[in-house]
Structure 1
Amino acid sequence: MKTLSLGLLLPTSTILPISKDFERGVKDGFNTHSQIIEIEIIKEFIGQGGAKQAEDASGRFFNYHDVDVVSGVLSHKVADDLAEQFKKRKIPFIVNDLGGHIPQVDKLNDYTYLNSLHLWRHAWSIGKWGVETFGKKGMYISAVYDSGYAFSQMFHEGMMAADPRAEWSFSVCPMPDAGNLSDMSVIFPFMEEYQPDFIFATFCGAETTLFLNECIARGWHKRTNIIGLPFITEPLGPLHADVTVYSTIAAQNAEMIVPERSFYYLGYETGAMLAKAAAKGGDLNTQLQELYKGLRLVGQEQALKYDESYEVIMTRNSIKAGDTGKHSEVISTLPVFTMEMQSMKSLVNDIHFGWMNPYLCI
């Protein structure tokens, strides 16, 4: 194999240059680890990453482009429904996502690979750490876009792991009119009523700025503790007072993954793995099976294995009034949810989260 033909499923986003970052990462990862094999990239754009767009694009990779392997950025909930098609055609399928949803492990197969930041595990760690650090009363606060993932569920699971007597409430902003930001005012009557020890807020960008400034106006930045996922302060506009925000960050092999470079990182990992597998020669999928360290089924008993070098780090971010930057310091490495077959299955039983979009969870 002197040329590897790679089909890329690429979504369209106005939030971040997701597809460009991912494609650049794939190229850099592949070229860094390959001197003798070239990569041919064939792109199919899948809009917001819905099931129909991804299925149609995959069909073109099967029936027209005749690629060796398919990758891209899409929710693994969409990939779940495509996995059997790739297995049937014996084409490797490398799925890259941030991990807003809990993987449905019984849909894993020998041809599907999940390269993910597993943000759902961050939510579990946040719930557990919040109870152990600040108190038993937590609150989940979100925009509609970010709430259609597994974050509230895993926040609950993490809180219960810390203390079965812990309790939590929630408030979600209504869907805004097209082109507008969420109305933050609806959140605060619920906060006043509940008086949380800490909140888990899944906002990002302009909505984080809007939310924090509303907290400042109402004095809540001094009355509770604000925790978020890696993207909560990426990017951030000027605030009206000094604020402290706690946030998680992913780390692999002790190297922290900068949030705004997440899709480049995922692409780089995909490209590097493909280069190493292709260089070994022989059947590409067989080589990928040997190199892949992510979530997978192994052995006749179909036990779950995953890369245990992945860590969730908690940081304290100090933000000065009027600044768009922050001073971050690492507080600790957090315990993470253990991915065991029965516990993973129980998490997804009878639970259906709505968003198929692979990037709204930032």
Structure 2
Amino acid sequence: MSPLKIGLLAYNSSVYPHAHHDFVNGFYAALPSQIARGHFQFIPEYIKAPTVAHVKESAQKLVGFDQVDILSGLINYKAVPDIVPLVERHKKIAFFYDMGELIPYTQHISNHVFFNSFQYWQSEYALGYWAFKEFGDKGSVVMSLYDAGYHLQSAFRQGAIAAGSQEIDYCVLHDNPTQSQVKDKARLLLEKFKTTLPSFIHAIFCGSEVFEFLEEFNQSGLKGKIPLLVTAHMASEEMVSQVANMGISMYAASMYNYYSPDKLNLQFKLAFEALTGRKANAIALMGYEMGLALVQLLPELQKRDWPTIINLLKKETVRSPRGERNFYLDSDYAIPTIDIEKIEVRNQRINKMIVAQGKALKYNHYIFEEIHRENVTGWQNPYLCV
């Protein structure tokens, strides 16, 4: 029996330099010992630039020339409508993953397309709701121009509004290609906050800008005076471990705890880290979850029985370190468990303490309609591909 070929749309990421390798190895880590890796073959296709045209070109090569059975990869929802006709015409399926920078479409997309999301927008909604309840109104959200092109700040705002907020300031550090996007601009803004005293500061950054902003905040004199809230990405192990000498406190809404003693998490980490020698991360976990989903369908996949596979994937639920996960966008799309964490970083030590449970919503809840209406364009590149 020939292996099932999975075409992988691959981007460059300075945040996750091993991104597509971690995804593939996460997938293989999910396979039971009695199932050989040879049942699955990954074929990566590097996307030169994060535009719909380049994504379509790479997808066409994988499906048309390489004859893959499943199209996968990290993708922005805005590119999906252009790929759907290709997948449907060839009677294949697509199984994409994303960080959750955009809220999924509420309308039906295709019976052939499945998604696994890290749902960052859910953590932002939960953080906004909690921030108002905990610290009150008149907080300030600070972000780069890049991060402003997604739904993260909008989801935070809707969470705060749902909790009762009436006033939040938004500060976008505008683009200047000849110098740092954050460093000097953040210093001036934080100096201003010494006078305006917002009830909290919520920072939305990624890549090297995370460290630039945290360094400026650390030196601003605002520590202990104004609570600092950060995104799930900024609070991730990859980011926090690089600022462990700062002596800083912050809050975040987390949907995955690397240090959880849960049996499923220990199984995942052990399998992935034995395979790669690297620490597990969000990308690896999404690959692992896709592996859990497909290994249950191996008999049907070996037959290339796509109608049956589609029907089974629509109903399938897997249990992972993130809880129950399913992959078809409908009313039963799983709601994540969200922990509000206080993170203390000092003397090369990181301490995370759960202080509350976050509030999550269905992706098609009416409250998100406004976000879709106001973010008509936005960036086409998937989050963290910078």
> For residue 40 of structure 1, what is the aligned residue in structure 2?
41
Picking from 275, 289, 306, the partner of 2:333 is 306
The residue type equivalent to 2:239 in the other structure is: P
Cα pair distance change 1:340/1:181, threshold 3 Å: closer
The residue type equivalent to 1:306 in the other structure is: Y
> For residue 301 of structure 1, what is the aligned residue in structure 2?
none
Rounded Cα–Cα distance in structure 1 between residues aligned with 2:285 and 2:90: 28
Structure 2 stretches lacking a partner, 5+ long: 270-278, 318-324
Picking from 241, 254, 279, the partner of 2:299 is 279
- Percent identity reads 20
Q: Is the 8 A contact 1:246 1:317 kept in 2?
A: yes
Structure 1 residue matching 2:96: 3-state secondary structure: strand
**Equivalences, count:** 353
> For residue 9 of structure 1, what is the aligned residue in structure 2?
9
After superposition, the C-alpha distances for 1:209-234 in whole angstroms (9 at most, x for unaligned) are 33233223321112211111222143
Q: Is the 8 A contact 1:32 1:272 kept in 2?
A: no
Q: How does 1:19-98 map to 2 (within 5 A)?
A: 19-30=20-31, 34-35=35-36, 38-98=39-99
After superposition, the C-alpha distances for 1:193-252 in whole angstroms (9 at most, x for unaligned) are 542111211124543333233223321112211111222143244578632111121149
Cα pair distance change 1:59/1:204, threshold 3 Å: closer
Q: Is the 8 A contact 1:104 1:345 kept in 2?
A: no
Q: How does 1:247-258 map to 2 (within 5 A)?
A: 247-251=252-256
Cα pair distance change 1:19/1:146, threshold 3 Å: same
After superposition, the C-alpha distances for 1:25-76 in whole angstroms (9 at most, x for unaligned) are 1232346583597112211111353212210011112221111111111112
Deviation at 1:124, TM superposition (A): 0.9
Structure 2 residue matching 1:221: 3-state secondary structure: coil
The residue type equivalent to 1:6 in the other structure is: I
Cα pair distance change 1:346/1:141, threshold 3 Å: closer
After superposition, the C-alpha distances for 1:83-127 in whole angstroms (9 at most, x for unaligned) are 233223321111100010111121522111110011111111111
Rounded Cα–Cα distance in structure 2 between residues aligned with 1:98 and 1:36: 26
> For residue 336 of structure 1, what is the aligned residue in structure 2?
360
> For residue 251 of structure 2, what is the aligned residue in structure 1?
246
> For residue 117 of structure 1, what is the aligned residue in structure 2?
118
> For residue 219 of structure 1, what is the aligned residue in structure 2?
221
Rounded Cα–Cα distance in structure 1 between residues aligned with 2:315 and 2:36: 21
Matched, 1:349 2:353: no
Cα pair distance change 1:353/1:219, threshold 3 Å: farther
> For residue 175 of structure 2, what is the aligned residue in structure 1?
175
**Structure 1 segments of 4+ aligned residues over 6 angstroms from their partners:** 252-260
Structure 1 stretches lacking a partner, 5+ long: 299-303
Structure 1 stretch displaced more, 199-208 or 256-265: 256-265
> How large is the RMSD of aligned CA atoms in angstroms?
2.9
Q: Is the 8 A contact 1:96 1:115 kept in 2?
A: yes
> For residue 146 of structure 2, what is the aligned residue in structure 1?
145
Rounded Cα–Cα distance in structure 2 between residues aligned with 1:162 and 1:153: 14
Rounded Cα–Cα distance in structure 2 between residues aligned with 1:190 and 1:108: 45
Cα pair distance change 1:205/1:7, threshold 3 Å: closer
Structure 1 residue matching 2:239: 3-state secondary structure: coil
> For residue 289 of structure 1, what is the aligned residue in structure 2?
314
Cα pair distance change 1:289/1:130, threshold 3 Å: same
TM-score under structure 2 length normalisation: 0.81
Q: Is the 8 A contact 2:7 2:63 kept in 1?
A: no
Picking from 341, 347, 350, the partner of 1:326 is 350
Rounded Cα–Cα distance in structure 2 between residues aligned with 1:70 and 1:2: 17
Rounded Cα–Cα distance in structure 2 between residues aligned with 1:185 and 1:244: 18
Picking from 220, 244, 262, the partner of 2:282 is 262
Rounded Cα–Cα distance in structure 1 between residues aligned with 2:178 and 2:27: 34
Matched, 1:235 2:277: no
Rounded Cα–Cα distance in structure 2 between residues aligned with 1:181 and 1:32: 48
Deviation at 1:174, TM superposition (A): 2.4
> For residue 128 of structure 2, what is the aligned residue in structure 1?
127
Deviation at 1:168, TM superposition (A): 0.3
TM-score under structure 1 length normalisation: 0.86
Q: Is the 8 A contact 1:149 1:353 kept in 2?
A: no
